Amino acid sequence: MNEFQNEHQNYQQQPPYSPYPPQHNPIKTNSKAIPALVLGILAVVIPYIGLIIGIIAIVFARLSLKEIRATGEQGKGMSIAGLVCGIVGTAMYAIILVILIIAVLFVSGSSY
């Protein structure tokens, strides 16, 4: 009987069954990626002010990409989209501004 008790003591009791699945900590999204995306979209949509907003979007996107690379956070896609939209908005309104300046100079210079 003593051998039976020794063998029975070697087995460990299983932990109680949990009805809930284990909780996983979600990976945090970078806090600068969201403003980069929003400002990038606004840079394309809002006329004239889009030049300034696009520059700010580019800065936020570059900072967020650097932080994402260092910390492994999520939001890389939003940062890239914000960077692209910021570049497009800045370039678009810079070209429009240059065309307007040339047009004003041309019109004012031809009146003499």
* Each residue's pLDDT tens digit, 3-44: 555 555 555 666 677 677 777 878 899 999 999 999 999 999
Instruction: Tell if the pTM clears 0.75, that is, is over it.
Output: no
pLDDT interval class at 112 (50, 70, 90)? low
Flag whether 20 is in a domain.
Answer: no
CA 110 vs CA 98, 103, 105: distances in Å: 18, 11, 8
Torsion of CA 37, 24, 67, 55, to 10 degrees: 10
| Domain assignment of residue 8, yes or no | no
The answer to whether residue 54 is domain-embedded is: yes
pLDDT reported for residue 98: 95
Q: Report the phi/psi class of residue 72: left, alpha or beta, with left for phi > 0 and alpha for psi in -120 to 50.
A: left
Residues 6+ apart with CB under 8 A from 45: 89
- Number of domains forming the structure of the chain: 1
Residue 23 lies inside a defined structural domain of this protein = no
Residue 35 belongs to a domain: yes
Residue 57's domain comprises 28-110
The single-letter DSSP state of residue 69 is H
Residue 17, domain member (yes or no): no
